[in-house]
Amino acid sequence: MQGISDTIARLAALRAQHDAHTADPGTPDQLQTLTNFGSNPGTLKARCYLPKDLPTGAPLVVILHGCTQNAAAYDHHSGWSQLADEAGFALLYPEQQRANNPNLCFNWFLPNDTSRDSGEALSIREMVEAMVVTHGLDGKRIFVTGLSAGGAMAAAMLGTYPEVFAGGAIIAGLPSGSATTIPAAFDRMRGQGGPSEQDLERALRGASDHRGPWPRISIWHGTADHTVAPSNAEAIADQWRRVHELDVAPTYSKSAGRHAKRVWCDVAGEAVIEINMITGMGHGTPLGDGLGSPGPYMLDVGISSTQEIARFWGISATGKSVFTRSQQEVPASQRPLSRSGVPHKEKAKTKSPEPTGIHLFQHLPASGAPGVKKIIEDALRAAGLMR
């Protein structure tokens, strides 16, 4: 019962945080609504943004918001539509509904919503197809990114439909297939337990019959994230490094201010995986360089992940990179890092993560112990998080 008591205690502590970070209804909304895009088994909404005079064959970026967020708010704060105007690509925002999840989280931990041709995953795939066909977009330049639960769902989409996406970016997220039960999801968010590298590779390869080539992956995390443990960034890299058949050691590392980057390149010298760790940053999307604006879980740290991700994918050359050309690429052997990508001293200061994913307990299986389920449901209702 110790784990249950711990969960109930966290519910009370998280009530204030939940109230403070509800989706902002006053956020400017410049997105269009996409309708009639398919069977939509996941019952998601679809929003999109198309810059004026968008040329035929433009890229498409799929963006998955985090818990308590909506599409319009994430677009406004992240700066994706601003960059889309400058660089010339289309945006698709799948949007969660409260009927599916009271906290507006994508259900990244439910097998029925993360399996190929099923649930939310299929709904998103149908939206992508509708955007490409309707607007004449480039089917070979489709990318997906997301924050937190949206980042975990982006990882699921990359695993479930790897042939669809040329690249992905996972911000404060978790590896594909890392949790398929509610207790496991909580443990993974805390950085506890977790599948081995071999099991993560098997989960990724088993999610589809695809055998390559694989998408390019950009990973972002704050070293002070107490919601999703930074160790998940390393697990994501391990998972994708194995399917890309890359060495354990990165090809090179760079650092600039708070930003530390490790990069793995393929045999042609192209960067295919990168981990970006932001020192001292909590749970959220890194912002900066005049792109986007701060908001709940949208953190101004002087680094625009939006800009850097688009540059990594090769769909934007606008703006100035965090890393100047004069900075040398330092081989990993000369820059020893801890598994979190930061010095061990700071890692020791990092507190145990306190997950905000309390929505997970909305889906306790009926077969669970009835006494346990009632205790948790009563606590959720007391916290105002379950009807």
The catalytic residue positions are 148
| End-to-end CA gap in the chain | 24
Strands 142-147 and 60-64: parallel
Strand partners, 67: none
Query: If you search the block for the tokens 């895009």, which residue do you land on?
Result: 37
Phi, psi of 290 (to 5 degrees): 75, 10
- Cα separation, 277 vs 287, whole angstroms: 13
Strand partners, 288: 291
- Cα separation, 201 vs 240, whole angstroms: 7
Give the start-end residues of each E strand in 155-233: 167-171, 216-222
Neighbours of 175 (CB within 10 A): 30
343-349 contacts at long range (C-beta below 8 A, 24 or more positions apart): 346/223, 346/279, 347/223
Neighbours of 189 (CB within 10 A): 27
Count Cα neighbours of 66 within 13 Å in the Cβ-side half-sphere. Answer: 27
Residue length of the chain:
387
Q: What angle do CA 368, 371, 377 make, to 5 degrees?
A: 85
- Cα separation, 344 vs 341, whole angstroms: 9
Strands 271-278 and 60-64: unpaired
Give the start-end residues of each E strand in the chain: 32-33, 45-49, 60-64, 90-95, 142-147, 167-171, 216-222, 252-256, 259-265, 271-278, 285-287, 298-300
- In this structure, what token pair is assigned to residue 255? 């650092």
Neighbours of 346 (CB within 10 A): 15
- In this structure, what token pair is assigned to residue 15? 């009530």
Note whether 300 and 288 are within 8 A (CB).
yes
